Chain A
Amino acid sequence: MIGNFTLLPGFENPLLWILGVPLGSAGFLAVLKDWRVAAWVNVLASVVTFGSSLLLITVRPEPTRLLFIDDFNVYLVVLTAFVGMTTAVFSAAYIARESEAQRLSDLHLRFYHSMYQAFLFTMLLALTANNTGVMWVAVEAATLTTVLMVSLYRTREAIEAAWKYFILCSVGIGLALFGTTLVYLAAQPVMGDGADAMAWTLMIKRAHDFQPDLLNLAFVFVLVGYGTKVGLAPLHAWLPDAHAEGPTPISAVLSGLLLNVALYALLRFKMVIAANGNTLTPGPLLVVMGLSSLFLSAFMLYRRGDIKRLFAYSSIEHMGVITFAFGMGGALANFAGLMHMTMHSLTKSAIFFAVGIISQNLGTKRIAAIRGLTQSHPVLGWGFVLAVLAIAGLPPMGVFMSEFLVLSSTFARQPLLAIPLAIGLLLAFAALVARLQSMAFGEPPPHSHAHGRAGPLSTALALTPLWVHMLLVLVAGLYLPKELVAWFQHVAGFLG
């Protein structure tokens, strides 16, 4: 039954490095005592991972039973490795100040660095797994590692957030496993027993013979299960708490990466369903969930008192837009969805970098206490303004372009659906701009209770990832290389 496959890739295979480096460093960091060294090992490991992920663009390893790379997941792997790397750099600066302010003990930091790499490993495994079961295990493991990190500060709120996150996402993940079992049952009469009936690369070829009714039932479970992890309304309750209470680098990777990974899982199942042809169309379900997430979060943005919660709701909003785009389907909307996934990842993690520094500089996360950032901290303040305007969808940033594509493709096909979409986007835009005004301009507060001092070097270190991300988003908004566009279009084509 193994056919041409070999079970494990060889050393020349970049996949081995992409998965091996984070896993190995997670183990190594768990025993490394000095957190200063650990922070740099963390950066180094992430750089190596990102470097190997770049190799994947040219070297395309043969799919095995366990792992595979195709045009769809390769870009998410590169994106994940990239944001993982920049966040590691930011984290080095962030952690140094937290430790100086004695908000985190050495043991906690050791644990934090180890979990960070473990988290990257689980996400990369989920993206490259060629087996629905392995992917499920990876997503579950990603949940476990992040729960531990969300509860890192041991405050009452952090524990509540972690508990809520754990319970809701475990149930979600449990339902996703049930859906996965049902998909296997649908595939098994056609593909035979064993791992073949769980391999993406093999399933997609013969999906049209699967039993459609069973796939329908399975998709409902998968949608609710992985949808919980994407943070789609009404299953989003864990998301704002988990983002708000954990360390800020974790909020950045949660928002920028984990939500994408969960959505990727959902889309893979959608591809199987779409390849079948006799099932219900998953589109309308995704459209409804996308729109409800957009509206719920757009209204929620207005009454937030906590800056990290504000941007957590903004993540729900953007996940809603992306889900909506994939729900619409078709080459153009899928293209817009893929593009928006990328832009949101880059911009939202940049925002969380800024928010992390802001809350350390001012010693508070309360929006009301944050004023006049552009005056008191110009480089940080203007970077923050740029990032928030980008996420709000102002031209010429990349987020504007992808949102515009979603809107125009919807308008061309279902004008009636474009209206609520536009209203939702405008509502969110107004909320964010209003919040931004009070935080970025005006008189800076007279006193601040900064967490630890920041030397010029550490400030530069913390700010670099923010500006690098913003630069990329800006460039993407102004000019996308032809090759990249062609690639996105190709992937959009086979997403169905």
Chain B
Amino acid sequence: MANAQISYDIAHLIGATVLMAGFQLLYQRRLFAVLNTFAFQALALAAAAAWQAHIQHAPHLYVTAAIALVFKAMIVPIALHWLVEQLGIHRNVETAMSIGWTMMAGVALVALSILLVLPVTANATALTRESLALAMSVVLLGLLMMITRRNAVTQVVGFMALENGLILAAVSAKGMPLVVEISVAFSVLVAMTLFGIFFFRIRERFDTLDLADLETHRGDRQ
């Protein structure tokens, strides 16, 4: 059983690393640091997927790991980096809530997900329970990041952090069919192209990516 214990410990360690990166994303003040942290999170996710592939004997999860590694940890951060430079976006992150409070909210969300997930998964294996709790925390932290950041780039990163949590949940669910993982990755790809187009259009028209500027132009003023 020592072997199973080690499998479990390593899965736990990697999952916790993804979560920790989720916290790191919350307190970055520079845009490039946000992108680097996101790349780190995606890297940890790739490791988590690969480890699950190994212990579940599910080779298709290696594909998920590869997608996370190549697409999310490399292509996306580089592309966003390039976009930020091309468009001359402000390099500082503007927050809607102070970082101290954001971190406190983050801790509360993690506590919430543990309290929610552990009781309802009493029959599942310890591995599934812990991974699910971690994944849900990552999802909620991503959501928090989207709420507390005003800049469009950081919102996108928040959304992708949320997706990282979703994939962490999907790879930890034993035997979940491949179709989901690939399609998730594919959706992100499409989403990314979309975002790219959006950025250009937004740039053309608004000179800033701060969403607060967009909100002054509602179509329903009488």
Contact = CB atoms under 8 A, between A and B. Distances in A.
A234 interface: no
A20 interface: no
A197 B180 CA distance: 13
Interface string B190-222: 110010001001100110000100110111111
Interface in A171-211: 171, 174-175, 177-178, 180-182, 184-185, 188-189, 192-195, 197-198, 211
B119 interface: yes
Contact of B175 (A156, A171, A194): A194
B183 interface: yes
B136 to A, nearest CB: 7
Contact of B194 (A144, A156, A192, A194): A144
A394 interface: no
A163 B191 CA distance: 12
A84 B120 CA distance: 42
B18 to A, nearest CB: 15
A211 B123 contact: yes
B177 A185 contact: no
B81 to A, nearest CB: 21
A180 B184 CA distance: 13
Interface string A363-382: 00000100000000000000
Interface stretch (B61-69, B83-91, B158-166): B158-166
23 contacts: A133-B180, A134-B179, A136-B180, A156-B206, A157-B219, A159-B202, A160-B215, A163-B211, A174-B139, A178-B169, A181-B169, A185-B132, A188-B173, A195-B177, A211-B120, A217-B117, A217-B120, A241-B219, A244-B220, A245-B219, A306-B220, A309-B219, A309-B220
Contacts of A493: none
Contact of B155 (A140, A141, A167, A174): A167
A181 B166 contact: yes
A352 to B, nearest CB: 16
A137 B187 contact: yes
Contacts of B109: none
Interface in A95-135: 131, 133-134
A213 B120 contact: yes
A177 B184 contact: yes
A448 B198 CA distance: 33
Contacts of B152: 163
A213 B219 contact: no
The 5 A-B residue pairs whose C-beta atoms are closest, nearest first, are A193-B175, A213-B120, A305-B222, A133-B180, A157-B219
Interface in A233-291: 240-241, 244-245
B29 interface: no
A154 B169 contact: no
- The interface size bin for chain B is 35 or more
A177 B183 CA distance: 11
A30 B139 CA distance: 36
B191 A170 contact: yes
Interface of A: 131, 133-134, 136-137, 140-141, 144, 147-148, 151, 154, 156-157, 159-163, 166-167, 170-171, 174-175, 177-178, 180-182, 184-185, 188-189, 192-195, 197-198, 211, 213-214, 216-217, 240-241, 244-245, 303-306, 309, 368
Nearest to B162: A174
A407 B136 CA distance: 39
Contact of B205 (A159, A241, A244): A159
A144 B176 contact: no
A161 B176 CA distance: 35
B220 A305 contact: yes
Given A148-B194, A156-B217, A185 B173 contact: yes
B128 interface: yes
Interface in B146-172: 146, 152, 155, 159, 162-163, 165-166, 169-170
A143 to B, nearest CB: 9
A303 B176 CA distance: 48
A305 B218 CA distance: 12
A213 B146 CA distance: 29
A131 B173 contact: no
B141 to A, nearest CB: 13
A360 B153 CA distance: 36
Nearest to A195: B177
A166 B169 contact: no
B121 A214 contact: yes
A171 B161 CA distance: 11
Nearest to B152: A163
B172 to A, nearest CB: 9
Contacts of B201: 151, 154, 159
B116 interface: yes
B143 A171 contact: yes
Contacts of B206: 156
Given A161-B219, A163-B198, A306-B220, 7 more contacts: A134-B179, A140-B187, A157-B219, A160-B219, A174-B139, A214-B121, A241-B219
B30 interface: no
A244 B219 contact: yes
